[in-house]
Structure 1
Amino acid sequence: MSRRGLLALFLLLASCKRTEPAASAVPDAGAGEVRPAASSVRDAGSAAQAVGSAPDASVAEVHPLAVCDARGGSPLNAARNYYDGGQYEEALSCAAQAAALDPDLAAAHAERGVALAALGRESEAQLAFARALAIDPGDAESLLGAARLYAVQMESTRERDELGVLYAERGLSQPSTPPELIPELALVAAMAFNDLGQADEALARAAIVLAREPGNHEAQYERALALFELCRFAEARKAFGALLDDPERAAHVHQHLGLLLEREGKWKLAQGHFDKARELSPEDFPEPPLPSQEDFRAAVAQAVAGLSSDMRRDLKGVPVDTEELPSDADLLANQPPLSPTILGLFRGPSLSEPCDGKETPCRSVVLYRRNLARAVRTSDELREQIRVTLLHEVGHLRGEDDEELAARGLE
């Protein structure tokens, strides 16, 4: 699951890490310079007509930034000091002045980017980081700021997570990257890799952080999550257990301990952890719309009947079954293993490949009741997710891999 709400807490770990205050009402682009609207520059006739007329209600009110008070220092250093003090508007003003004085200074645009991100002005922050990296593709601060913006702050999508990984990994690979930035870059990479389902890579990046900062709880959490996703369940249970007293991550820890105990058939103990996770974070862990096994089978059968005729033809002779949870055997049949939270599974060769005769039938599809119910919030969403999961597995039946399916919106 994406953990944007939780992972944003990483930004509070140290004064140099980026926080997320409420979005600013300042609407101007870039560094906040006052610029004429495009129409006033390009349409002299319209501008002349506007002289002496009533204000046009369609023109956005301009809120220029305050003049930078550098307090006797350079605007760039002042921007950094203001940022570390939580004064983001002042940081933006001074970063804007630094960029105006030296437009080719990547650090000035990067500092604009982090201030804009802290103010919730994400689209402007994207442009600021893009400009900084166009000037200096290897600037470590710019890479870290862009990685955080895409992989932590913005709403999770595959493309944003991939961008976050690219920026963080580039920062990690640069010989000129300051040593103090290595753990921060590695942590963002671990977050993004976990969200992308690349748990082996996430585990390696979490290890980089923990080698330097053994007490970093966010890295410990990313490590625990990666162990869970890699089906190293005993290690994951121990790792999550060590974080139970961490108030910032306790809800997610309880949820994963519930998932681990559920796999062991310890239903009552598992439910206790699920209830605690819901108590601590009801928005993240609402009560799942878990149907009875009979109703779930009926919903799956209805979804199969609703497929197009060519899909039903391809499924002829391919049973579509339901199970509670994926078995260890199914998860460990691949390397790296499949996630324990998968919603469905296609077993066997694609239609274009011959059956090997070891299994009868050699092809099958299975949908998992508990994982599907936890992936949604309402019964209507569950029915839709069953349909999408079924389409995903039919894609595998036809020979598509996960990347191709994700490109078609069937991730």
Structure 2
Amino acid sequence: MSRRGLLAVFLLLGACQRSSSEPPRTASVLDAGVAAVAPVTASPPATQAKPDASTAAVTALSVCHSEGKSPLEAARHYYDDERYEEALSCAAQAAALEPDNAEAHAERGMALSALDRVPEAQMAFARALAIDPDSPDGLLGAAHLYAVDLPSSRERDELGLLYSERGLAKPGMVPDMVVQFALISAMAFNDLGQADEALARAAIVLAHEPNNREATYERALALFELCRFSEAKAAFSALLSDPEHGAHAHQHVGLLLEREGKWKQAQVHFDKARELAPEDFPVPPLPSEADFRTQVANAVAALPEDMRKDLEGIPVAAEEIPVDDDLLSGEPPLSPTILGLFRGPPLGEPCDGSETPCRSVVLYRRNLARAVRTPQELLEQIQVTLLHEVGHLRGEDDEELAARGLE
């Protein structure tokens, strides 16, 4: 199960008021705020444009059975009971009766998100936050959608983080909502490589809920990324038997044992992680050390002429994993899972004379192999990583390289 699936399960178990069970996708489409009318089956006149394929089969919502509650209260009740179609019907009625009620549109967005109707959920949350930029349910729903429900990308994680951090900063937020916002922020910060911030947000959750397993996992991951290896090892070891986090805990304990040079013990944990989550941890296409050096040399030879010229006199080495001195050379530390590293000042800046040569590039065999699934993908990733490090050689930072697709 992916990390995003883990939080979805965690939320479903009651840590958040609003959750998503990720049911199968549906093809029905709704207008914003009111139930759609079933389509007429007769062919349209020749002068009319034919309906778009995405709107050709629209299903009307059922009538909201509020059972003496207001439509909004009924929507929340149905949502908490995981009856998402009924929640959507009542939320749509609430939004139709009170079109300027941000919470009604947010509730509708949550039901749509639970039904995996993402474009409609995005519009519902956008409308809720346009009405009230500080709507707690609107902020929470949008944060969860972008940082948890949808596949991870930098833009989605950043957007989800903006929503969760806005909710977390809102004065007077009830403790339960604080926990939910802080948990989403911790996950987004970890995904964005800002482990120090992730650690702080996980601490907020654990201060309220010391046994919160998802926050415990995010804390362990942040400790690992911050190179606080002994603390990370203890944190992940405590999660080895956890049904939701065990596979990732085994993988990280393996990575930590690998750093200690305990290769056979590390492999036991890698194998267990693969057994528990084969999709997340496939067998890496690990070439021999000699073959990897050849692949790196071939990647250098395939660079454009101007890049090869920039690399003249700069060694490009192949190593197994990053050493502590390299990871701890800056603040914050580098991730132990980096694929490559450029050492030294950019071209045009003077060397300090402490090392000869003062500039070098290294690519990491084991980290690269774990980042891909096939030998062909490995060759491609070696080339991308090499381009990334040449970018650093030329003075580009990580944000600039990410904007060019060399993250």
Q: TM-score, length-normalised on structure 2?
A: 0.95
Q: Which residue of the partner structure matches residue 406 of structure 1?
A: 402
1:7-406 matches, cutoff 5 A: 7-14=7-14, 16-19=17-20, 20-31=22-33, 33-34=35-36, 46-47=47-48, 60-406=56-402
Q: Distance in 1 between matches of 2:55 and 2:64?
A: 26
Shift of 1:57: 8.5
CA RMSD between the two structures:
2.2
Shift of 1:34: 1.9
Shift of 1:179: 2.4
Q: Distance in 2 between matches of 1:365 and 1:96?
A: 57
Contact kept, 8 Å, 1:133 with 1:143, in 2: the verdict is yes
Contact kept, 8 Å, 1:258 with 1:273, in 2: the verdict is yes
Shift of 1:72: 1.5
**SS of equivalent residue, structure 2 residue 347:** coil
What are the Cα deviations for residues 331-389 of structure 1, in whole angstroms up to 9, with x where unaligned?
A: 00011100000000000000121111111111100000000000000000000000100
Shift of 1:137: 0.6
Q: Distance in 2 between matches of 1:210 and 1:58?
A: 44
**SS of equivalent residue, structure 2 residue 173:** coil
Q: Distance in 2 between matches of 1:321 and 1:71?
A: 70
Contact kept, 8 Å, 2:195 with 2:225, in 1: the verdict is yes
Q: Distance in 1 between matches of 2:354 and 2:176?
A: 54
The letter of the residue matching 2:187 is M
Q: Percent identity among equivalent residues?
A: 70
Contact kept, 8 Å, 2:23 with 2:116, in 1: the verdict is yes
Shift of 1:16: 2.2
Q: Which residue of the partner structure matches residue 40 of structure 1?
A: none
The letter of the residue matching 2:133 is P
What are the Cα deviations for residues 3-59 of structure 1, in whole angstroms up to 9, with x where unaligned?
A: 22333222223072412222223233434632699xxxxx98724x99xxxx99896
Aligned residue pair count: 402
1:59–1:232 distance in 2 versus 1, CA, 3 Å: closer
Contact kept, 8 Å, 2:2 with 2:280, in 1: the verdict is no
1:36–1:244 distance in 2 versus 1, CA, 3 Å: closer
Contact kept, 8 Å, 2:38 with 2:60, in 1: the verdict is no
**SS of equivalent residue, structure 2 residue 236:** helix
Q: Which runs of 4+ in 1 moved over 6 A?
A: 55-59
Q: Distance in 2 between matches of 1:140 and 1:366?
A: 47
Q: Distance in 1 between matches of 2:340 and 2:229?
A: 20
Shift of 1:216: 0.2
1:109–1:58 distance in 2 versus 1, CA, 3 Å: closer
Shift of 1:164: 1.1
Contact kept, 8 Å, 2:240 with 2:246, in 1: the verdict is yes
What are the Cα deviations for residues 259-314 of structure 1, in whole angstroms up to 9, with x where unaligned?
A: 00000000111000000000000000000000000110111111111111111111
1:56–1:404 distance in 2 versus 1, CA, 3 Å: closer
The letter of the residue matching 2:29 is P
User: Any unmatched runs of 5+ in structure 1?
Assistant: 38-42
Shift of 1:210: 0.1
**SS of equivalent residue, structure 1 residue 46:** coil
Contact kept, 8 Å, 1:325 with 1:371, in 2: the verdict is yes
Q: Distance in 2 between matches of 1:194 and 1:58?
A: 36
Q: Distance in 1 between matches of 2:52 and 2:146?
A: 36
User: Any unmatched runs of 5+ in structure 2?
Assistant: none
1:2–1:159 distance in 2 versus 1, CA, 3 Å: farther
- More off after superposition, 173-182 vs 86-95: 173-182
The letter of the residue matching 1:7 is L
Q: Distance in 1 between matches of 2:237 and 2:248?
A: 11
Q: Which residue of the partner structure matches residue 5 of structure 1?
A: 5
Contact kept, 8 Å, 1:113 with 1:126, in 2: the verdict is yes
What are the Cα deviations for residues 100-143 of structure 1, in whole angstroms up to 9, with x where unaligned?
A: 11111000010011101100111111111111111111111111
The letter of the residue matching 1:166 is L
Contact kept, 8 Å, 1:32 with 1:64, in 2: the verdict is no
What are the Cα deviations for residues 167-224 of structure 1, in whole angstroms up to 9, with x where unaligned?
A: 1100011104222200110000000000000000000000000000000000000000
